[in-house]
Amino acid sequence: MGQIPRLLKLLAGRAANLLNSSEVGKRLQLEHKTVRSYTTLLETVFLVKTLPAWRPSIGARESTTRKVYVVDSGLLAHLLGADPKRLGEDARVTGLALENFVAMEVMKHLEWASTAAGLFHYRTGNDEIDLVLEDRSGAIACIEVKAAATLHERDWRPMAKIRDARREDFRAGFLVHAGSQTFPLGDRLWAVPISALWA
């Protein structure tokens, strides 16, 4: 059990990324099964949260690699050894901290939302979407997070692909960014500032 604090710190460095239990186990000299058990324990006590991958085929979801997040953003910053200046200026920290923060805020909103939805991540080939929400009817919405105010078409291209592939089920895609404006990116796609999480 003495390895759990080290595991938590290592998971913080991988926040908002895929959880590879074998790789983490090698770093900590633990069996990958032990890493999975300890990660489950950390999730049970609300220190981390893992998300399964979204797949159009429901049966394929549980066999995919999960992403890991640290539940509290202050704890994440502490574990990373990051002060406010570093959070804003160090690209190695800013992106993962912002995605982690947005994911945790979305999870909070889901707890009181009138429509129940599952939360997933999506990755296939070079395409990645940070968060995919799916309700019981199969309707989906996507959220991508960018720690930048300047956006490029490649930033929302994976969401557009999902929209085009799941025409009827796709409700909306949101690109959460560091700017201050909300503006359309195309059919059912929007760029929204981080402050929209509280609007």
* Mean pLDDT, residues 87-110 taken together: 93
| pLDDT (tens digit per residue) in 183-194 | 999 999 999 999
Which residues contact residue 44 at a Cβ distance below 8 angstroms, ignoring those fewer than 6 apart? none
Which residues contact residue 189 at a Cβ distance below 8 angstroms, ignoring those fewer than 6 apart? 156, 159, 160, 163, 172, 173, 174, 175
* Mean pLDDT, residues 52-77 taken together: 83
Q: How far apart are CA 107 and CA 48, in angstroms?
A: 12
Would you state the pLDDT for residue 199?
A: 65
Would you state the pLDDT for residue 60?
A: 57
pLDDT category, 61, cuts 50, 70, 90?
A: low
What's 52's DSSP letter? P
Is residue 178 within 8 A of residue 194, CB to CB? The reply is yes
pTM: 0.91
State the residue range of the domain holding 175: 4-198
What's 62's DSSP letter? T
Q: Which two tokens stand for residue 76?
A: 């994440």
Place of tokens 């690109």: 175
State the DSSP string of 63-131: TSPPEEEES-HHHHHHHHT--HHHHHH-HHHHHHHHHHHHHHHHHHHHHH-SS-EEEEEEEETTEEEEE
The number of distinct structural domains making up the chain is: 1
Q: How far apart are CA 183 and CA 85, in angstroms?
A: 29
pLDDT category, 56, cuts 50, 70, 90?
A: confident
pLDDT category, 132, cuts 50, 70, 90?
A: very high
Report whether pLDDT(63) > 80.
no
Which residues contact residue 59 at a Cβ distance below 8 angstroms, ignoring those fewer than 6 apart? none
* Mean pLDDT, residues 135-149 taken together: 94
| pLDDT (tens digit per residue) in 17-38 | 999 999 999 999 999 999 999 9
* Mean pLDDT, residues 128-138 taken together: 95
C-beta atoms surrounding 159 within 10 Å = 27
Lowest mean pLDDT among 25-29, 86-90, 127-131: 86-90
| pLDDT (tens digit per residue) in 147-172 | 988 899 999 999 999 999 999 999 99
Burial class from Cβ neighbours inside 10 Å (0-12, 13-18, 19+) for residue 108 reads: exposed
* Mean pLDDT, residues 61-81 taken together: 88
One-letter amino acid for residue 166 of the chain: R
Q: Which two tokens stand for residue 90?
A: 């160090």
Report whether pLDDT(62) > 80.
no
